[in-house]
Structure 1
Amino acid sequence: MTWRRAALELPTIGVPAAMVLMAGTYPFTWSVPTALAACLALPLRHRWPWLATVMCLPALCGGLGWPPAVIAFYRTGRHTRSPRVALTCVLLATAVPTTFVALNERLPLNQLLLTLAYTFFMSAAPAAIGALITARQDLTTSLAETARAREAELEAREATARASERARIAREIHDAVGHHATLIAVESAALAATTTDQHTKDTALRVRGLAKETLTEMRAALGLLNAPREPAQGYLDLPNLINRARAAGLPVDYTNHARTTPTPAVGRAIYRVVQEALTNVTKHAPNAPVQIHLTRQSHSIHITVTNTASPNPPPHQHHDGTGLHGLSERVTTLGGTFTATPGPDGGFSVEATLPTGRTKVDQKDSTYGGSARNPANA
């Protein structure tokens, strides 16, 4: 028993002992010693409640044992899982003092029955209160566990329904977009094989490569790739992305002063930010100079992609900003910030700040042993 536990036991022993000493009337010379012994035995109730109850029997016969006995019986009802043990203790505490009184005093039957009822009530009441409190706590715990199980079941059903719907949508997108992308790859390969113009051949091969890469990224994003496959593009693939943009005729100025390797999820987000920004420049400001800068801050990487107005602007095109909205969600999910604003010279600026440390998404990343199907991991 620790000192703290012993200190907490002092009131439990001292209060009933004080009540015994203040009784004033002692039926027998041994009444006080047995009652004090019962008080000193109360610490046994934590491990052996029945033993603490039995230790109170001599004190009950002496007439001063009820203060410690009430505590012992409460503990017996509170922590004794077997109803038989608790009932046996109550019957002993009823029968032994009543029998002792009947043998030592000549009482009429009505007083003897009153003594029997009194001893039964004084022993059964605290035991019943303890048992009821335990039953209530068990019921509360059971209801809480049932509620948690029900909630988990509902979450599992919702997750299953979402997964089924996502799988259906993924199949439809894969079949529709995949078919056209495959045709583009086949047609461009055929063009490269039949043309005699070297520039046309290089362009066709580049289109074929982009179509195949589109298929790969689409399947990875939809979770349809079977392991082992190449992982989705990330931070280390930025030079290849920029070289492809330059090969397509886009003047790109790229500087990277981050000097760090971010986590996989953050690396993919950086790649997607730059990729979407270059795609938008190609669509809405072809041949416009682009500046891409990556800088390291205290605990984050700052990405800036800016472009000036296009020297040959295309006809007005409606764009709903779906790609930028998706980027904003991706960056926000990782704990970063994202802005996309038009410039005063007719250009456009995309900025994002992403943490360099491990994020919640990385905990679900397959690189860390989690699921690669997390949307932010695509």
Structure 2
Amino acid sequence: MIDAALVLAALVDVRVNVSPDYEQGMACALLAALVLPLRRHLPLAAFLLTIPSALFTDAVFAPLAALYTLSSLDHRRSLLALCGLLYAVSDFLPWRWWELRADSFAADDLGIAPVAYSVAWATAPVFLGQLVQARRELSLRLAEISEAREHERLLTAQSVLSSERAQLAREMHDVVAHQVSLIAVQAGALQVGTRDEETRQAAATIRRLSVQTLEELRHMVSVLRAAGSRPTELTPQPSLADLRRLVDTSGIEAELRADLPGTLPPPVQRAVYRTVQEALTNVRKHAPGATATIGLRREGGTVRVTVTNTAPTRPALPLPGAHHGLIGLRQRAELLGGTVTTGPTADGGYELRLELPTDAGRQ
């Protein structure tokens, strides 16, 4: 609808400002009006095709619309200045300038006012297009900031939850499980040492219940140590099979090089997924325009994950944050007996490296 409205307005401009007897000018003006639908896909070509209308006729609506669209889409300031100058010169030259002699120019035609008028008409769509472009980019960056802050808030909550669960798992393993083990040992000794049948049966029952309690405690400890990535275990947890979708939807150009078996323990798979997720989030936040490479491989009994990004191509906005992302990754890795190391690369990029034992979570 916008394209149709612009073409219609340009045709009205042609009808008002171009004489039907002037065939060459009418052809140039009609061409300028009809190429306006191409301005978003081929902005520079569309603008150049509208210039003859400003050069040979007084129909300038199409060149101004094409110049505005070019300014709102292109970041090259020198090109925009050159295009604005080209339009100003085309608009300033008198109509049918090739038929005029040097002594036929009126004094008013060469004064400051006509020049200023042409320059103003040329700079207005350029400045307006740049303003629209800046507003659009600012909206995108604000959306990125909101998304990053929400993601960081979730990671902070997950990190706190993981720490609390790890502390609870240690307490259960070091205190409760130890005391229940002593109860089982004492009940077994009583079962063997007593001669009273009723006492022996009671001791056997206590020992059996103690062993069952120990099994339940071990299961709960393993669940607590493996959890922390989500507030609840009711939803499916991510695994290595979900990495491809994570990389494809990360919003950055990333290459995944994976050579890991799908039989790794679920806690290890979740730790790998969360590490890659956090690393890609940091690339998007702190290295705009950078590309990333994700490498996953197994060497003996160790899983090695590296996420490397190139140097950013544009400056990053200073985003607010609590800096808990890498801390949470290190805590998760330590709970599984692994390590997380980070640091800059020689080419100005950044690298995150995760190492985990392949049997983590099976203890």
Relative to the length of structure 2, the TM-score reads 0.56
Shift, 1:22, TM fit: 3.0
Percent identity (aligned) = 28
1:72/1:27 Cα in 2 relative to 1: closer, same or farther (>3 Å)?
farther
What is the correspondence of 1:182-261 to structure 2 with a 5 Å cutoff?
182-223=181-222
- Cross-structure match for 1:23: 17
- Cross-structure match for 2:37: 43
Shift, 1:131, TM fit: 1.7
- Cross-structure match for 1:175: 174
- Cross-structure match for 2:88: 94
Q: Is the 8 A contact 1:53 1:69 kept in 2?
A: yes
Q: Is the 8 A contact 1:78 1:131 kept in 2?
A: yes
Rg comparison, structure with higher value: 1
- C-alpha distance in structure 2 between counterparts of 1:28 and 1:119, whole Å: 23
- C-alpha distance in structure 1 between counterparts of 2:35 and 2:236, whole Å: 54
Q: Helix, strand or coil for the counterpart of 2:39?
A: helix
Q: Residue deviations 1:81-114, cap 9 Å, x none?
A: 2222222211111123324567635032675432
- Cross-structure match for 1:250: none
Shift, 1:125, TM fit: 1.2
Shift, 1:55, TM fit: 1.3
Q: Is the 8 A contact 2:32 2:50 kept in 1?
A: yes
Farther off after superposition, 170-179 or 35-44: 170-179
Q: Is the 8 A contact 1:98 1:116 kept in 2?
A: yes
- Cross-structure match for 1:166: 165
Aligned residue type for 2:141: S
- C-alpha distance in structure 2 between counterparts of 1:86 and 1:62, whole Å: 22
- Cross-structure match for 2:65: 71
Q: Is the 8 A contact 1:31 1:64 kept in 2?
A: no
Q: Is the 8 A contact 1:50 1:85 kept in 2?
A: no
- C-alpha distance in structure 2 between counterparts of 1:213 and 1:178, whole Å: 11
1:154/1:225 Cα in 2 relative to 1: closer, same or farther (>3 Å)?
closer
Which consecutive unaligned segments of at least 5 residues does structure 1 have?
Answer: 1-6, 228-332, 334-359, 374-378
Greater RCO (Cα-Cα under 8 Å, separation 6 or more) = 2
Q: Helix, strand or coil for the counterpart of 1:46?
A: coil
Q: Is the 8 A contact 2:190 2:200 kept in 1?
A: yes
- Cross-structure match for 1:246: none
Shift, 1:8, TM fit: 6.1
- C-alpha distance in structure 2 between counterparts of 1:100 and 1:24, whole Å: 14
Q: Residue deviations 1:173-194, cap 9 Å, x none?
A: 3322222211111011111222
- Cross-structure match for 1:81: 75
Q: Is the 8 A contact 1:41 1:52 kept in 2?
A: yes
Q: Is 2:52 the counterpart of 1:53?
A: no
Aligned residue type for 2:62: P
- Cross-structure match for 2:341: none
Shift, 1:204, TM fit: 2.2
- C-alpha distance in structure 1 between counterparts of 2:175 and 2:45, whole Å: 78
- C-alpha distance in structure 1 between counterparts of 2:53 and 2:18, whole Å: 15
Shift, 1:172, TM fit: 2.3
Shift, 1:198, TM fit: 4.3
- C-alpha distance in structure 1 between counterparts of 2:24 and 2:115, whole Å: 22
Q: Is the 8 A contact 2:88 2:122 kept in 1?
A: yes
Aligned residue type for 1:53: F
- C-alpha distance in structure 2 between counterparts of 1:371 and 1:65, whole Å: 69
Q: Helix, strand or coil for the counterpart of 1:12?
A: helix
Relative to the length of structure 1, the TM-score reads 0.54
Instruction: Count the aligned residue pairs.
Output: 236
- Cross-structure match for 1:155: 154
- C-alpha distance in structure 1 between counterparts of 2:197 and 2:79, whole Å: 97
- C-alpha distance in structure 1 between counterparts of 2:24 and 2:197, whole Å: 118
- C-alpha distance in structure 1 between counterparts of 2:137 and 2:2, whole Å: 25
Q: Residue deviations 1:252-295, cap 9 Å, x none?
A: xxxxxxxxxxxxxxxxxxxxxxxxxxxxxxxxxxxxxxxxxxxx
- C-alpha distance in structure 2 between counterparts of 1:211 and 1:51, whole Å: 82
- Cross-structure match for 1:34: 28
Q: Is 2:137 the counterpart of 1:128?
A: no
Shift, 1:142, TM fit: 0.8
